[in-house]
Structure 1
């Protein structure tokens, strides 16, 4: 009897085991071929569509309705169609990997109106960089992320930095935005800025770069382009239980002995979710390449021994001593969705670096040429804190279909410290900016074929600035001149309207207008300098507009044409700054400034040959008037003043020039089969500044010709990219006047004049999915170990660089 019971129990166990195996065999999991992430909402059907199924949030679907040998189709708007029989699927472990479509005309973008729009309807050029591409290129910073796109040029004065150049404009003529919040503040300067490194690449879901003016939506500063960074959103649970998921990553790079650790995790329920991210970076001194100019070598550096500065011989001249730094990034986001109409989002962002040396200042020779001018020159910790609260409502209303209220607070901290060789006085300026912004944006798509986007914006910035000097021997502190007028404020109020009209199914018109009012108030302290004025009280207004169209004369051919204006209102940096711009020169305040305006036109063409070859090109021309430029100036009738103990030539920001910038952007993508593809980008830009006296000179922020070419092979588990990066030469004749005095960062031609040589690098990048949870990356950059500097950069680029990364998804 007992034997019979045991047999019966064993039989039941075998029955349930076979049943569970049968059920599992009927279930398929659909995954993204590049990321391994599940793909939801895949339509699954047979030939006559009499049998159907849909994949769930986890990419899973039951295939029991299909017979073993009938053809099954898997379809999704963003992926290539996949066909297979159930028997074939079973042989592959009941897992299917789908590839993204190579043709991107159906891609959705957010940057042009702050609401989702079809990219094909937008007349401006927009480059999108998604999380999949970012994970593959595995950049150290967000500056490297932009550079890896092949469409944005990045300058670096030091390792802890990266200043993008777009269409001949840079720094405060480009706008940075994070999750819809303007990052540009009242002290964004005309010189190179490093704020983009405060954005953690591990947290970015998508980056959209708008080429050309974006002032209709973004206001002041958006002359050359807009860089929008959208961070990861918390993910809800589609079950009744709490879901928990996340990622752990580690990266090592040999050229600067980088050690980076990252962790993020998501908690989700049906109505609320949370996303948390933390990243730590440690960078050692950067090692340059082996094959190149000896003038780039770091032959000596300064240390302090026994109370005196000593010029030390560098045992490894390729090692750029005093270039390393550390950084931490933290992000916390919460989202609450009580119903289908309302959504509440809260984001908390924090980034902080250690002190980081400004390398280009540390290699400046002294006046006699036998030593170095500075013993110390470093930025203090760069800190960025942002709180961003957003309320979104979707649904029917008389005046809108969607409304979005965004309230954000940001706090910026930065400082500069420098001490001359054998000088005991360390001069420091420290700045803090508190920024408040309120945006109210509407979307209305009920007026026939017209979609309207309109809204209003208010921004308030307050600048606190202080100066000090410290005797490093006696440790005595004293007050010194600040970099900016302490307590200065910058604020703007604006309203805009933007319309998208579907004139025909193949012809879309996009047009908009904006009016901005800007107020600047600064009180000048005359303790250290006898300013001939007490305050700057500036009130300016600016009207900007745009109009363009996107036309598809054929389904596979797109032509775009766009005209737009942009402006930049003077900020506190323009009006009230005092600093040493270059050896022997000092910039002083100038309260008599007006906005600069840009007039831009561009035409673009995109041709798709049966999804096998995609060609695209764009031509642009920008005319800048009343350009805010640094020029010689008389301060109280004096053309020279004493600054930090040195008699210096006086300069100031002035509306003293016009600028002409034009160029071409070309690219192609060729898809040979499901494994092999080839792509390339090429950017050519020319630019000239014309002073009021008619004198012409090359524009400073016009990048050299640059481009890349990539040969990619991939399958569901492995992806490899062999690529070449190229930069052209900028001769002495085409070098900006402000750059010609920086002989210590440039090569010297046969006539003894500085110039920026051309260069190229050969590189290899790969990614292997060990399992659905584990992914490894390996890159080898600058394989031929070239020694080169990118244009206008102080630090020399990395030599041969092995980058290893490992990531685990849980």
Structure 2
């Protein structure tokens, strides 16, 4: 019997050796549900001293590992798995991963700029995957955020989209693309549309930090940080060349959208290339049939025989003068010469056509339409981003990343009063250079640090002129900003992650930022009492928070500070903020500082119900607010031929924002679930006399509920979106003066009505390469306008999309 067992053992050993020789050390990683290969899976040992990434076929060579070494397989969309090498070979060289069933299983990189488990992060993060983006089929990057159901977006025109997060928006929110801040020195306090320069077809995934992020991201990250990570090239990791790509088309009925996209990549063993092209053409937007008549477009201005004329709109549901087109180009090149170094070059270019500012074109003065023209010139954005990463295992770092970027922003404003031949033009260009040096170091299994340095330089070019549209004659006019103004930021930061035990993690951080501003004012057109302005100021910010995982709970808490330094828009602009008001420069500005707290609970009940709740509170001190001002003792000046009230940005207020966020996921079985989200924001601005008024950028209560069915090839979603009303009493004073944006209550005062829509969308996998998406939005054809928006939302809208993957 013993002899027989020995023979059997020898036979097993010979079989194992033969099996290893036959199959080699190359293994394949697959999805357990559909048996598909999974590329870009991180494969590493316990101390991360060895590792690699699976290629496009899900394969990787594991000969670098010893037989008893534990190997972890980790992917952003799957739950991680760990096996010894011997166990893997016994499984016939195949590893199967399971899709994440919980938000807590996900990996995020926004909070520290390095990979972290979401369950160890104290801040609330909204993660939007590539699959989520493809399924929601957004027209722009602003729509990408809005369709998540967790972020409110305002629009002044079709070519727009200004996110609002926890009572903050515009230059109090930071936008980052592949680790590079997009915010520049002329990001304004009014609604902005720079986010539409980001191509949603080229976004791999998005992470949004809800709440302050100044420790890692510096100035502007007061209310949140929106991180967009674009698609990267794939490498073959062997001598075989791999090819990949996508071709997509989309059509929507509400604005006769015609969009085409293609991306193509090929990978060698050490080199990877990816090219992306998107083009969209949008016609004038159609609103819904059922709703407030206030929003209709009964007439519009057009040129007839060289004269402005008001003509009747044949279909008042069509919002005349809203259409535009846009092109996006991107090129990524990656080089991985060995297991230590990685180089990545990203080139991005975006350009729109002229696009009308619709909320100005619907303004009346003395009973007649005010403007003959009001449009933004082409919005152009170029970014060259070169990133170097190096793995180490030394005293100072385990990983280091050096990011150098150059950006060029171009925009213009073009406006002409009705029946006036003079077109007033303001053109702006910004050159932005930035360098970031970021380190990651694990000192012990419990202690990890992230630290780094940052330098940002912006130079503003601004020009103004008047053009006679009949003769073409051009004359000088005031520029919007002081030409040649510069803005610089220098910073150092450090963050510590301390895992007290497997269920309790503390994360804290500290940053020092120094800001330099230098401007020279032109007094040709305005007799400013100053000729230059400079700022030399600094700010400390810090945060501390914890994540605790008792049983099926996650409890998080975080407190921190944030700041926004004045930029060129705050200090130096001259513009008409609204009819009858002009904003003038104010060189005497200091940074505004935020103090915030957040508390969150997530609870898993059984295996089918997830519940989450977050409460937040922020105080913004020395808030930079537009208020009445005087110039040389004058409270009114002549601007563009109109006597206007003088205003300026001032450190003149204290702001309070607070609220709650709720959500749940209820799974009935593997195919069916219900999800819901509800956000309740509130905000107030304290006046000089101690009274409080509603805050401008606080959205109404908004939420959604989805009923989702999904099998291997079909996904179907019926959902409702909801916004509460904002009464006249709860409108910010600055919004009350914009009656043309709002409906009218029974007392004749402007207010934002509540609304809800019923919608349906689906995705069907025709084959492994062809996918069809179809959505029917606003099924009841409701006519509504989201809060503070100048354009009415789309009516019933059929969206069709087709994607081919090769």
Is the pair's TM-score, using the shorter chain for normalization, greater than 0.5? yes
Q: Against the structure 1 CA distance between its residues 438 and 40, is the aligned structure 2 distance closer, same or farther, given a 3 Å change threshold?
A: closer
Q: Against the structure 1 CA distance between its residues 333 and 33, is the aligned structure 2 distance closer, same or farther, given a 3 Å change threshold?
A: farther
Deviations 1:723-763 (A, max 9, x none): 00000000000001001011111000011110000000000
Q: Against the structure 1 CA distance between its residues 241 and 755, is the aligned structure 2 distance closer, same or farther, given a 3 Å change threshold?
A: same
Q: State whether residues 32 and 38 of structure 1, in contact with CA within 8 Å, keep that contact through their aligned partners in structure 2.
A: no
Structure 2 partner of 1:483: 480
Q: State whether residues 237 and 270 of structure 2, in contact with CA within 8 Å, keep that contact through their aligned partners in structure 1.
A: no
Structure 1 partner of 2:566: 570
1:45-64 correspondence to structure 2 within 5 Å: 57-59=56-58
Q: State whether residues 778 and 805 of structure 1, in contact with CA within 8 Å, keep that contact through their aligned partners in structure 2.
A: yes
SS in 2 for 1:120: helix
**Cα separation, 1, equivalents of 2:41 and 2:692:** 59
Structure 1 partner of 2:385: 388
Structure 1 partner of 2:352: 353
Q: State whether residues 518 and 539 of structure 1, in contact with CA within 8 Å, keep that contact through their aligned partners in structure 2.
A: yes
Deviations 1:388-443 (A, max 9, x none): 00110012121111111100000000000000001110000000000000100111
Structure 2 partner of 1:537: 534
Aligned length, in residue pairs: 746
Q: TM-score, normalised by structure 2?
A: 0.90
Structure 1 partner of 2:90: none
Q: State whether residues 31 and 98 of structure 2, in contact with CA within 8 Å, keep that contact through their aligned partners in structure 1.
A: no
Structure 2 partner of 1:110: 109
Name the Cα RMSD after superposition.
Answer: 2.1
Per-residue deviation, 1:80 = 7.8
Deviations 1:755-805 (A, max 9, x none): 000000000000000000100000000000000000000000000000000
Per-residue deviation, 1:680 = 0.3
**In structure 2, which of residues 688, 704, 708 is the aligned counterpart of residue 708 of structure 1?**
704
Q: Against the structure 1 CA distance between its residues 268 and 57, is the aligned structure 2 distance closer, same or farther, given a 3 Å change threshold?
A: closer
**Cα separation, 1, equivalents of 2:526 and 2:795:** 46
**In structure 2, which of residues 750, 756, 760 is the aligned counterpart of residue 760 of structure 1?**
756
Structure 2 partner of 1:50: none
SS in 2 for 1:327: strand
Structure 1 partner of 2:85: none
SS in 1 for 2:410: strand
Deviations 1:528-552 (A, max 9, x none): 0000001011111000000000011
Q: State whether residues 349 and 380 of structure 2, in contact with CA within 8 Å, keep that contact through their aligned partners in structure 1.
A: yes
Structure 1 partner of 2:421: 424
Q: State whether residues 494 and 514 of structure 1, in contact with CA within 8 Å, keep that contact through their aligned partners in structure 2.
A: yes
Larger mean CA deviation between 132-141 and 236-245 belongs to 236-245
Q: Against the structure 1 CA distance between its residues 265 and 320, is the aligned structure 2 distance closer, same or farther, given a 3 Å change threshold?
A: same
Q: State whether residues 97 and 716 of structure 1, in contact with CA within 8 Å, keep that contact through their aligned partners in structure 2.
A: no
**In structure 2, which of residues 720, 724, 735 is the aligned counterpart of residue 724 of structure 1?**
720
1:329 aligns with 2:325: no
Q: State whether residues 55 and 235 of structure 2, in contact with CA within 8 Å, keep that contact through their aligned partners in structure 1.
A: no
Structure 2 partner of 1:518: 515
Per-residue deviation, 1:28 = 11
Gaps of 5+ in 2: 1-22, 43-52, 61-72, 82-93
Structure 2 partner of 1:64: none
**In structure 1, which of residues 465, 473, 480 is the aligned counterpart of residue 462 of structure 2?**
465
**Cα separation, 1, equivalents of 2:182 and 2:29:** 41
Per-residue deviation, 1:475 = 1.2
Q: State whether residues 435 and 459 of structure 1, in contact with CA within 8 Å, keep that contact through their aligned partners in structure 2.
A: yes
Deviations 1:239-269 (A, max 9, x none): 3121111000000000000000000011101
1:2-401 correspondence to structure 2 within 5 Å: 30=30, 38-39=37-38, 57-59=56-58, 79=78, 100-366=99-365, 368-369=366-367, 371-401=368-398
**Cα separation, 2, equivalents of 1:55 and 1:471:** 62
1:590 aligns with 2:586: yes
Q: State whether residues 340 and 390 of structure 2, in contact with CA within 8 Å, keep that contact through their aligned partners in structure 1.
A: yes
**Cα separation, 1, equivalents of 2:125 and 2:149:** 13
1:412 aligns with 2:409: yes
Per-residue deviation, 1:306 = 1.9
Q: TM-score, normalised by structure 1?
A: 0.90
Structure 2 partner of 1:617: 613
**Cα separation, 1, equivalents of 2:134 and 2:357:** 29
SS in 2 for 1:105: helix
SS in 1 for 2:364: coil
Structure 2 partner of 1:674: 670
Q: State whether residues 30 and 60 of structure 1, in contact with CA within 8 Å, keep that contact through their aligned partners in structure 2.
A: no
**In structure 2, which of residues 676, 685, 689 is the aligned counterpart of residue 689 of structure 1?**
685
Q: State whether residues 215 and 541 of structure 2, in contact with CA within 8 Å, keep that contact through their aligned partners in structure 1.
A: yes
1:542-553 correspondence to structure 2 within 5 Å: 542-553=539-550
Q: Against the structure 1 CA distance between its residues 633 and 769, is the aligned structure 2 distance closer, same or farther, given a 3 Å change threshold?
A: same
Structure 2 partner of 1:6: none
Per-residue deviation, 1:273 = 0.3
